[in-house]
Amino acid sequence: MAPELAAALVAVVALSVGLGVLRALGLATTPRAMLPAAGLAYVTGIVAIGLPTLVLLAAGLAVDLVTVALVALAVGAVAWGVGLRRAPPVGDGDAPDARPWTRLDRAAVVVFLVALAAMAVVGGMAASVTPLSHWDAWSIWGRKAVVLTQWSQLPVPFFKHASSGMQSPDYPLLLPLLESVHLRLIGATGLRSAQLELWLLAIGSAGAMAFLGALLTRPLVWAPVVLCTVVAPGLYRNLVAGYADAAMAAFLGPGILLLGIWLRNPRPRTLALATLLLAGAASAKDEGLFGAVAALAVAVAIHLARRRRRELAQLGLAALGLALLLAPWRLWVSAHGIPGQIPVGRGLSSRFLSSRSDRIGPTVGRLTHELGNRHNFLLLVALALALCGLGFVFSRVRAVATFYLAVGVLFFGAVVWAICISRVALVWQLHTASDRVVQGIVAVSAAAILQLSGLLPDAGPSPAENGVLGRTRLRPRRRRVEQRA
């Protein structure tokens, strides 16, 4: 099968399953709502198919194309069955925006769609012909993709023994699994064309952020923000190099944004989808686990301060679901004694941390430099920090601003901690990975910009809180004044 046809086939299957999951959750129940939600459906479908398949691998079962197809068929059938039986919830699906689009808004949407399509084509062509020449990309993820292509089960000796040359064998397998499906479809083990899957994942994530952003603020705001995340040189380099950091961010951004939306409108269906995508981020790279745990922990802290038991119960179920989704791979790694480069146990010891304290300053300085480098991430982090600071001025925005700021700080601290306790030489690690490991913070920043820009005064009523994802009145005082007038 031709590589382009294989990528298209994977996309169609993932899109079909993802639309079924969204339909089952009541988030996109009509054709009119499904078309804009295609990007969100695609990334959801990848996770909904990938995580059960990883469970089968960890259980020792043989996984091939037939197995993946059966998993996709089973998940899709259940999702569509539930979705078709349930009635669309009130206020769901096709509620018009609270503020009509202007000519500038329409122009922004057109420019965004044209630019995104161009990036999909041009970037996909570049990714499909770029060799996997970066050592980390090959050793950490590319080699695992080849292993999953050549073996139907996880070969323990290959993961366990240093003689195999696999770096970080304990890293999760969602991206290698996706690439191995592509390689099996084309009948080859050359990873050059498999990078098409990573590029499509980034484009799908941009579509997901655009869909959610359109529910939160006007196109003149969300279109350039989402477009900047796609054209950022730092992301582009990670994509064509084949790094899983880009895949992790592709799931983390929409997941964090959905959790932020849930803070304003605590609907279980929104939290369920957020948890699924956060599990996808954690299954793509360890830093995704940092982001998922930080996001849920901050949400718990906010609702503990508010003393809201119902929301805390929902978060408890979300944390349990996240643990159940991630446990099989972690148990497999522990059961077979697979080594890792990050000694987590020793990293929790104050004596060990004090012995590594000389690594903190250089690590913080280098990561801060990368986040503020406008040539890599176009000052998205700086804009998010500014909006968080502005959000503290307004009481109704303060909780959301606190959420994004706290998640970003915890994520940053976790990355610094992981680098400081790593067995890899600090100079080498900062030189080769500092511009990659901050990708998740950039994704959190993009989510913060999208939601906060819609909540600040004069940003317009939030359609998400009146339509697809909830129903909450915004700016009631202004409306009452207008009615009196």
Tens of pLDDT, residue by residue over 222-259, are 999 999 998 888 888 888 888 889 999 999 999 999 99
Q: How many domains in the chain?
A: 1
| pLDDT > 50? residue 217 | yes
Q: With 50 as the cut, is the pLDDT of residue 90 above it? A: no
CA angle, 215 as apex, 213 and 221 as ends, to 5°? 45
**CB neighbourhood size of 26 (10 A):** 20
Tokens representing 304 are 């503990």
Residue 261, pLDDT above cutoff 90: yes
- Give the pLDDT band of residue 423 (cuts 50, 70, 90): confident
147 Cα distance to chain centroid: 25
Burial class (CB in 10 A: 0-12, 13-18, 19+), 444: buried
CA distance 8 to 10: 5
Q: Is the pLDDT of residue 300 over 90?
A: yes
Dist CA 449 CA 362 (whole Å): 29
Is residue 95 in some structural domain? Answer: no
User: What's the distance, Cα to Cα, between the start and end of the chain in Å?
Assistant: 67
Output the CA torsion sign for 452, 458, 461, 463. Answer: negative
Q: What is the percentage of the chain residues whose pLDDT exceeds 70?
A: 90
Residue 401 reports pLDDT greater than 60: yes
Whether 232 maps to a domain, the answer reads: yes
pLDDT of residue 478: 41
Q: How far is CA 261 from CA 165, 176, 395, in A?
A: 43, 31, 16
- 177 in a structural domain: yes
| Gyration radius (Cα) of the chain, Å | 22
> Of all residues in the chain, what percent carry a pLDDT higher than 90?
53
* Angle at alpha carbon of residue 35, lines to 32 and 37, rounded to 5°: 110
242/195 Cα distance (integer angstroms): 6
Residues in the chain: 485
pLDDT band at 99 (very low <50, low <70, confident <90, very high): low
Tell me if 96 is assigned to some domain.
no
Q: Once rounded to an integer, what is the mean pLDDT over residues 114-134?
A: 81
pLDDT class for 28, splitting at 50, 70, 90? confident
323 pLDDT exceeds 80?
yes
Q: Judging by beta carbons within 10 Å of its beta carbon (0-12, 13-18, 19+), is residue 433 exposed, middle or buried? A: buried
Provide the residue type at 324 as one letter: L
Structure tokens at 335: 């059961």
Q: Residue 174 is which amino acid? A: L
Task: Name the residue among 256, 321, 257 with its Cα closest to residue 291.
Answer: 256
Residue 467, domain member (yes or no): yes
Positive or negative, the CA dihedral 306, 310, 312, 314 is: negative
Residue 49 has pLDDT above 80, yes or no: yes
**Cβ neighbourhood burial of 149 (10 Å; 0-12, 13-18, 19+):** buried
Residue where the block lists tokens 């790094």: 243
The answer to whether 391 touches 450, Cβ cutoff 8 Å, is no
List alpha helices for 26-102, DSSP H. Answer: 31-34, 38-58, 65-85
pLDDT at 479: 41
Q: In the predicted model, what is the mean pLDDT of residues 5-19?
A: 93
Q: Which domain holds residue 458?
A: 3-83+104-484
Q: In this structure, is residue 288 part of a structural domain?
A: yes
Domain membership flag for residue 89: no
Per-residue pLDDT, averaged over 203-220, amounts to 93
pLDDT at position 469: 59
Distance CA 271, CA 262 (A): 6
8 Å CB contact between 440 and 245: yes
Place of tokens 């989402």: 226
Q: Rounded to whole angstroms, what are the CA distances from 134 to 143, 185, 209, 243? A: 12, 24, 29, 9
Residue 129's pLDDT band, with cuts at 50, 70 and 90, is confident
Structure tokens at 169: 């064998």
Q: Mean pLDDT across the stretch 162-173?
A: 78
Q: Tell me: the pLDDT tens digits for 436-451?
A: 899 999 999 999 999 9
| Highest mean pLDDT, choosing among 133-147, 356-370, 454-468 | 356-370
> For residue 302, is it within any domain?
yes
User: pTM (2 decimals)?
Assistant: 0.90
Q: Which of 111-115, 408-412, 421-425 has the lowest mean pLDDT?
A: 421-425
Q: Measured between alpha carbons, how far is 435 from 38 in angstroms, rounded to an integer? A: 30
